[in-house]
Each structure stands twice: as structure tokens, then as C-alpha cells.
Amino acid sequence: MGFSPMAPTLSAPVRWMMSTFLSIYRSLALLWMRLRSSSTQLAGTPPEEAAAARRVVHGEAWNEFCDTLKAAGAALVAPGAPTDAFNQAEGYRYLARLTRAGLENFLECADVEAPALTSIANGMRPAPIKLGSDNPDNLYEHATIDGSLEYVVSGDRGRVPYLGFGTQSGSYGGKGGLATVDYVEADALVYDDAQRQHFTIVLSSERPPEAVNWLKLKPEPREAMFILRQTFGDRTKETPARVSISLRGGQGGPSPLTAVKLEQALQGAGVLVAGASMMFARWARGFQEHTNELPLFDVERSNEAGGDPNIRYYHSYWRIGPEEALRIKVRPPPCRCWNFQLNNHWMESLDYRYHSVHTNDTLARADEGDEEAYSIVVSHSNPNVEGKFRGNWISTVGHSCGTMCFRFIAPKVSDADLPHPTIAVVRVNDL
């Protein structure tokens, strides 16, 4: 008989009976294990390892992880959170996605001596994971590393318009968050070939004399991240960079899993789910104070949250009725690129695989008679009917509210001279 991934439909009483039986069985089995366990089994084991072993074997580490996930639901009832079934369903899906992200990051790809690039925020995956107003034009990748060690990053440039590399101190969901330590764009690298394709970057706390390209690491705290950002203009036409990272002088693959590593991974994953969801819940609540406006986001606050220091963000909140639309007008400054996106309340980008929920300098159509100005229309239905162009349409995909973000990537003017986008609520019939 083949395995079917479809979940069986069980009645509420049957689900309750199953859950109750398994809970009682587990409690009795763990009690029996405690009674049988002997302290001599851990003789000679370092205290930290012995404590972790007991907590894993006795189920305490798993209980704490599950309790943290339950507590993370607080973000869904935080001030300003929508309480209707549609938005709450998306909220719980968001927490489930963050759980997957946490387990991938802290459990599956967390060996600092055998680092691996993984992607927490990636809406192109068959099973997307999104958070923090993830950019539909970006491919976000990162590797968990140790700030006291040395690493080598190598790869091929590809044809993506914007490619950036950075180091950060801290970890996702960790105490103190993420702080940018160093950052370099691909155009500033010294390449190994005349075609300016292949490159090598050394990551370390002190620059080795032979390093042509170098990114600084902070040795304390040892928790650190290597980040890779690729920004596309048109994903269908541009080749992404191919990048790998390895421990300098390292050997072999990941080391075996231990109780200490498992407990730390579950703690990290739980903190990511609870910490990130609550942080962005506070952000969304703050954005509601300037609903349907697009103020410039504080640069220092963005950098403290791990944002790209070369980007100027306009984060805000939007809300429109059935017959309303948002009309955004912008005259972008000279910059590498720009984009605008729509998110749900939980700061997840809407599904850009299938819907028109963002635009950028490559995809957008300029205003008639003014090639340097652009109009964007956020509405429930496409306003460009009867052959008349009314603006670059951004679909709400069934949402009536959420967060939004406008970006200028690497603007060539000072913050004081940025031409801020303007926004207005209008009737659809008045477009």
C-alpha cells in the first residue's frame, strides 16, 4: 500500500481520544524511564552534557519547545492584530512556517564547522517561508557561523542585477537580535578572472595578509551569520549567483548530533518563532499609526534588525474598502533599483508566484509623457480595463489590510534629498 500524505479526517471526539491516549502513554513511559535511569550512566560526563542528556531523554527539552510554540500564539492577539478568521488562519500558517524555518536553521543547518547556505525567507519554494516584509525580488540565503573562526566564500557572479554579502553578529531570534558587522557589494569585489565572474571572500575577525576580499567577523558573541542577498529585476531572465561557504582548513561534513546540540536547536527554533513573530507584530502595530502613508523607516532600526544598510525602506500599513484603491506616485532617485510590495498583516509578502503583488524598476511601466515617474495602484481588481493604463496594478489577493514596503536600493542621493513616494486613498471609479 502506498503512503498518502493526505491527513485523515477525524471527528473532534476521535482526535481528543487519540491525543489523550498518546499523552497518557507518553507520561507513563517517561515516568518509567526516570525510575529506571541510573546516575551512574552519566558518570564522567561534563555537567552541561549530562544535564542536556537528562532533559532530552526525559522529554523536557521537547516539552519546552512545544510550550514556546504555544506561547508564540500571543503575536496573533497582540494589539492591532486582525481577529477575523481569514487573517488569523494566515497568522497560524505564519507561525507554522516560522517553525519550519527555525528547525531548518538551528537543527539541520547549524554546524559552524560545516556551514551550509540555507534560505529562511523564500517565497519561491513549493512550501514558502516568509517574514519581515521579505522582498519578492530577493533571494535571501545565510549560513550559521562562529565569529571566532575563519571561513572562505567562493562562487560565480551570475547575472543578477544586485548581489550583496554581509556578516552579522547574533542569530535569528537570539538575544539582542542581529547586528550588521560588515557588508560588501559584488561590484566592489576583486575577481579571479577577466570576465569578473569568479570570486573568493575570506571571513575572519582579523584580515589575513593574502585575502583579496575580506568581511569582518566579531569574535564575541560567537554566534554569527553570513548573509547573501540577490536582487532580481526579472527572475525569468536573470541567472542567480552560485555561492558556497566552507570552514577555512576544515575537513569533512557535519559532526554527529548530540543532546546538547538538539536542546540548543529546539531552544533556538522556539525563540525564533516567538521572538520574530512578536517583534514584527509590534512593527505592524507601529505602522498602523501612519496607515496609508509611506514614511521613511529609521535606518538605524533597520540595521539593528539585520536590514541591508544600502537600502532605504518605507515601511507602513495599508487598509482599503471594497470600492477603494491606493494610488502611489514616485519619481525614484538615481539608484541601483527600486521596488514596492504588498504584505499581509503578519509582514509576509503576498504570493508573488501567482499574483501581481509587487513591482520594480524593471517590471513597472512609466507614466505616459514622463519616463521618470511611476504610478502604482493597489486595489482589489485590475483597474487597467478598456485599454486604458491607470497605473501598475498591485493586487490585494483578497486582503483588506496589511503592511507594505517601498525600497530604494543603493540610492545615490543623501537621505535628506530622497524623493519620497506619495500615496492617497481614492475611489476606484475616480482612477
Q: Residue 15: its pLDDT value, please?
A: 81
Same-domain check for residues 271 and 229: no
Phi-psi category of residue 416: left, alpha or beta, with phi > 0 → left and psi -120 to 50 → alpha: alpha
Q: Which range of residues forms the domain containing residue 384? A: 291-430
Same-domain check for residues 85 and 147: no
Q: Residue 40: its pLDDT value, please?
A: 46
- For residues 424 and 379, the answer to whether their CB atoms sit within 8 Å is no
Same-domain check for residues 160 and 261: no
Helix, strand or coil, per DSSP, at residue 309: coil
How many Å apart are CA 128 and CA 122, to the nearest integer? Answer: 6
Same-domain check for residues 305 and 421: yes
- In this structure, is residue 124 part of a structural domain? no
Which strands make up the sheet holding 198-204, listed edge to edge? 214-216, 198-204, 151-156, 242-247
Q: Residue 327: its pLDDT value, please?
A: 97
Res. 215: pLDDT tops 60: yes
DSSP 39-91: GGGGTT--HHHHHHHHHHHTTHHHHHHHHHHHHHGGGGGSTT---SHHHHHHH
Same-domain check for residues 194 and 91: no
Same-domain check for residues 299 and 420: yes
179-205 mean pLDDT:
93
Grid cell at residue 274: 516567538
DSSP 117-153: -B-SSBTTSSS-B--SS--TTEEEEEEEEETTS-EEE
Grid cell at residue 123: 517565497
- In this structure, is residue 354 part of a structural domain? yes
Q: Residue 161: its pLDDT value, please?
A: 87
Q: What pTM value is reported for the model?
A: 0.87
Res. 5: pLDDT tops 80: no
Same-domain check for residues 413 and 337: yes
- In this structure, is residue 7 part of a structural domain? no
Q: What is the mean pLDDT of the chain?
A: 91
Res. 37: pLDDT tops 70: no
Q: How far is CA 271 from the centre of its chain?
A: 15
- 27 to 12, 50, 59: CA distances (angstroms): 22, 22, 9
- In this structure, is residue 154 part of a structural domain? yes
Q: Domain tally for the chain?
A: 3
Same-domain check for residues 320 and 425: yes
Lowest mean pLDDT, pick from 165-174, 191-200, 377-386 = 165-174
How many percent of the chain have pLDDT more than 90?
74
pLDDT in tens, 286-344: 999 999 999 999 998 888 877 778 899 999 999 999 999 999 999 999 998 999 999 99
Sequence-distant (6+) residues with CB within 8 A of 50 are 42
- In this structure, is residue 76 part of a structural domain? yes
240-258 mean pLDDT:
90
Same-domain check for residues 265 and 295: no
Same-domain check for residues 81 and 151: no
Res. 144: pLDDT tops 60: yes
Lowest mean pLDDT, pick from 11-25, 53-67, 93-107, 132-146 = 11-25
- In this structure, is residue 19 part of a structural domain? no
- 70 to 74, 179, 218, 277: CA distances (angstroms): 8, 28, 34, 12
- For residues 114 and 128, the answer to whether their CB atoms sit within 8 Å is no
Q: Residue 149: its pLDDT value, please?
A: 96
- 256 to 46, 59, 113, 114, 416: CA distances (angstroms): 17, 20, 12, 11, 53
Same-domain check for residues 243 and 366: no
With the C-alpha atoms ordered 352, 274, 176, 181, is the resulting torsion angle positive or negative? Answer: negative
84-90 mean pLDDT:
98
Q: How confident is the model at residue 408 (pLDDT cuts 50, 70, 90)?
A: very high
Which residues is 205 bridged to in the sheet?
Answer: none
- In this structure, is residue 17 part of a structural domain? no
Same-domain check for residues 235 and 157: yes
- In this structure, is residue 391 part of a structural domain? yes
State the CB neighbour count (10 A cutoff) for residue 194: 6
With the C-alpha atoms ordered 109, 110, 116, 120, is the resulting torsion angle positive or negative? Answer: positive
Instruction: Tell me the CATH number at 198.
Output: 2.60.120.600
pLDDT in tens, 349-402: 999 999 999 999 999 999 999 999 999 999 999 999 877 888 999 999 999 999
